[in-house]
């Protein structure tokens, strides 16, 4: 179900910063989560000041536009009302910028005061490898039945040199509330073992491609060498897949 990622596509790519924020929930639980940068008291004050400046810019901008229009109607169009309208429109169109400036300022200050945590977050991000993970989770429904989900977390491109992840539901099984608990538990554990084996296979295929890529790159980072290294990674992975088709490995 759904598109399958080719591990060789992502060798040489780096994890995108959005995996520390917006895309964090797309990652499998097995990878853990980064430390949270604590918000100090100054953070709320700076963001609050940004919000006040945003409101003030909007109000002043609207007033300037109204005054400019009224002045133009009552006194005629000259430089003063035109300047008022232009300045007011500028304040209105850019008023949200104060919020972003305040947030960036607060985050920058907190980043400097929590440099060790920021460094550990960076190390955690750099440790993420772009191969597909499978996980199993359960959820109790309103009627008391239990849903068992097999989730697939697969890498996708985020720009020319980075990757992020998306989460997909590969399988959903429903078990009625009167089904024996032991049966549901056994089924969930079976699916978890299958997910672990599938994840390990994905990791092995990625590692084969990554090793071939590094060997072909040989410390050079020009575009042509990267292209050749990417091809070498794909060829190595193709050979491994063909070998497994001829002589399948033993699985649990």
Whether residue 92 is contained in a domain is answered as yes
Based on the fold, state whether residues 105 and 150 are members of the same structural domain: no
Contact yes or no for 142/87 (Cβ under 8 A): no
The yes-or-no verdict on residue 247 having pLDDT over 60 is: no
For 136, the domain range is 130-246
Whether residue 11 is contained in a domain is answered as no
Based on the fold, state whether residues 51 and 97 are members of the same structural domain: yes
Based on the fold, state whether residues 107 and 135 are members of the same structural domain: no
Whether residue 157 is contained in a domain is answered as yes
pLDDT tens profile 126-182? 999 999 999 999 999 999 999 999 999 999 999 889 999 999 999 999 999 999 999
Based on the fold, state whether residues 102 and 181 are members of the same structural domain: no
Domains held by the chain: number: 2
Q: DSSP of 60-85, one letter per residue?
A: HHHHHHHHHHHHHHHH-S-HHHHHHH
Based on the fold, state whether residues 148 and 239 are members of the same structural domain: yes
The yes-or-no verdict on residue 241 having pLDDT over 80 is: no
Q: Quote the tokens at residue 129.
A: 């490898």
Q: φ and ψ at 93, to 5 degrees? A: -70, -20
**Given pLDDT bands bounded at 50, 70 and 90, which one contains residue 107?**
low
Based on the fold, state whether residues 108 and 134 are members of the same structural domain: no
pTM score of the predicted model: 0.63
Q: What percent of the chain has pLDDT over 90?
A: 40
Based on the fold, state whether residues 189 and 239 are members of the same structural domain: yes
pLDDT tens profile 211-240? 887 777 665 555 666 666 666 666 666 666
Whether residue 125 is contained in a domain is answered as no
């Amino acid at each position: 179900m759904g598109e399958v990622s080719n591990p060789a596509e992502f060798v040489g790519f780096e994890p995108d910063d959005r995996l520390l924020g917006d895309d964090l929930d797309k990652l499998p639980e097995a990878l853990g989560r980064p430390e949270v940068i604590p918000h100090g008291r100054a953070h709320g004050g700076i963001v609050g000041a940004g919000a006040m400046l945003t409101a003030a810019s909007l109000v002043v901008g609207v007033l300037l536009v109204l005054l400019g229009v009224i002045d133009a109607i009552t006194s005629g169009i000259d430089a003063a009302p035109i300047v008022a309208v232009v300045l007011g429109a500028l304040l209105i169109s850019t008023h949200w910028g104060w919020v972003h400036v305040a947030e960036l300022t607060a985050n920058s200050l907190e980043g400097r005061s929590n440099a060790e945590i920021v460094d550990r977050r960076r190390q955690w991000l750099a440790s993420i490898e772009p191969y597909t993970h499978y996980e199993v989770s359960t959820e109790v429904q309103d009627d008391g039945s239990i849903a068992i989900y097999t989730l697939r977390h697969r890498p996708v491109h985020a720009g020319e040199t980075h990757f992020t992840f998306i989460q997909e539901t590969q399988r959903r099984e429903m078990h009625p509330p009167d089904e024996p608990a032991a049966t549901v538990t056994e089924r969930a554990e079976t699916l978890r073992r299958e997910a672990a084996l599938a994840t390990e296979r994905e990791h092995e295929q990625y590692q084969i491609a990554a090793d071939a890529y590094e060997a072909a790159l040989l410390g050079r980072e020009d575009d042509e060498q990267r292209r050749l290294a990417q091809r070498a990674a794909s060829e190595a992975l193709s050979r491994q897949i063909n070998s497994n088709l001829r002589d399948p490995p033993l699985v649990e």
